[in-house]
Structure 1
Amino acid sequence: MIKDLVLLNRSYRKYHNSKKVSVRQLTDLIDIARITPSSKNQQPLKYLLVTNEDDVNLVESHLKWAKFLKDWDGPEKKEQPPAYIIMLNDKNLNKQAEIDSGIAAQTILLGAVEKKLGGCILRSVNRPVIAKHFNLSSNLEIIQVIAIGYPNQKIRLTTPNDTESVNYYEGNDGTHYVPKRKLEDIIITPDITH
């Protein structure tokens, strides 16, 4: 069921670094993203698959993880993802690809979960440094980076009350807690009395 995949699809920030992810596995994920809907069917998204250890380390050093975890600078070396997908917009095909990129990223992550992998979308990225390192042409704009690996993190969904924050946090036991609003709090019923 799709709901089961969505429930398993969390923003994993810690991985079993010794378990490698192959280019083939990443290619399979891109193949399912390739066939998702695209605005005006322009299909401007391109992907740079990063599995080489030196390249992975370079990308890792130019990311910022987990804004709300103030005392955490990102995963330790042994917990870093073994692979990244750098999602690019080919501006020659479409100037903007925000909606396409969201659809594709979610599809990639659902595919990852189905393969017992996990991921995290990162948008706090030093784009100029990464673009220069990979010698990207000026028409290829980095939209986001998706970390991919075998998760090494326990994540629990919680339901906040009306006064609690929806900011994620880490408990003393290392569990990552993600508050999600109640269903009745997000469905608006139209007022038909006017």
Structure 2
Amino acid sequence: MNFKELVKVNRTCRRYDNSKKVSMKQLEELVDLVRYTPCGANRQSLRFVLINDKEINEKIYDNIAWAGYLKDWDGPVKEERPTGYIVFVSDSQYGKPMLEDVGIASQTISLGARFEGMAVCIFKAYKEEPIKEILELGDKYNIHLVMAIGYPVEEAVIDNIKVGEDIKYYRDKNGVHHVPKIVTEDTIIKKNL
């Protein structure tokens, strides 16, 4: 697939094939992509905790919120939970990464995972202290996001919308996940100034 096709299929995934385990080597290879990305002042202050242990996965799962717009859904059933997580942290000794650094790193990993047939869900809605305790991180580290990784079992499609239309994602009666995205011409406010 070309790059635009990769970006278009790189949808957030909330349902995975729990029988397909994400290996530690796969997680390491995804994080390796980040070292090639740009970051503010070349600080490289992001650090990562890689998890593919079933017991720890369950503990992480219990401390994240899965889908704000899907009010009647508590998250994936056991057979559809991710088999890997990457927790993005910073070491206070090296300073806080820029928000852009976290965004670039998470998008790079997300695209890398999708290219390899996996998919991710990026969480900012998580319970930081319990997760730090589960991972035995201590006060030295601060969590910036939690990323679930696995092999997708859900179908997601993009619905083109105009500015002002409803942006809330939803699932239809067939379980297809719909993601409204504003059309390009409505995102460009000026050209050739």
Q: Do they fold alike, i.e. is TM over 0.5?
A: yes
- CA pair 140-7 structure 1, distance change in 2 beyond 3 A: same
1:111 lines up with 2:112 in the alignment = yes
State the partner residue of 1:47.
Answer: 48
Shift of 1:190: 5.6
1:94 paired residue number? 95
In the aligned structure 2, how far is the partner of 1:15 from the partner of 1:85? 16
Change (3 A) 1:93 1:187: same
CA–CA separation in structure 1 for the residues paired with 2:46 and 2:31: 10
Q: Which residue of 1 aligns with 2:159?
A: 158
TM norm structure 2: 0.95
d(CA) in 1 for partners of 2:163, 2:6: 28
Q: Distance in 2 between matches of 1:162 and 1:119?
A: 27
SS at match of 1:65: coil
Task: Give structure 2 stretches of 5+ with no counterpart.
Answer: none
TM superposition outliers: structure 1 runs of 4+ over 3 Å = none
Matches within 5 A, 1:55-134: 55-134=56-135
In structure 1, distance between residues paired with 2:192 and 2:37: 35
Q: Distance in 2 between matches of 1:98 and 1:163?
A: 27
* Mapped pair 1:13 → 2:10: no
1:50-71 alpha-carbon deviations (Å, 9 max, x no partner): 1011000000010101101110
Matches within 5 A, 1:136-175: 136-162=137-163, 164-175=165-176
- Share of identical aligned residues, percent? 38
Shift of 1:139: 2.1
Corresponding residue pairs, total: 192
Please state whether the residue corresponding to 1:146 is helix, strand or coil: strand
Give the stretch that moved more between structures: 162-171 or 146-155.
162-171
Structure 1 Cα separation of the partners of residues 65 and 50 of structure 2: 19
What is the match of residue 23 of structure 2?
22
Aligned alpha-carbon RMSD (Å): 1.3
Partner of 1:180: 181
CA deviations over 1:111-140 (Å, ceiling 9, x no partner): 001100101101111110010121103121
Measured in 2, the distance between the counterparts of 1:99 and 1:163 equals 26
Judged with a 3 Å threshold, the aligned counterparts in structure 2 of structure 1 residues 106 and 140 are, in CA distance, closer, same or farther, namely same
TM-score normalised by length of structure 1: 0.95
Note closer, same or farther for the CA distance 1:132–1:162 as it changes in structure 2 (3 Å cut): closer
Question: Shift of the alpha carbon at 1:89?
Answer: 1.5
Q: Say whether the 8 Å CA contact 2:156–2:178 is kept in structure 1.
A: yes
1:89/1:97 contact within 8 Å kept: no
Matched residue type, 1:126: K
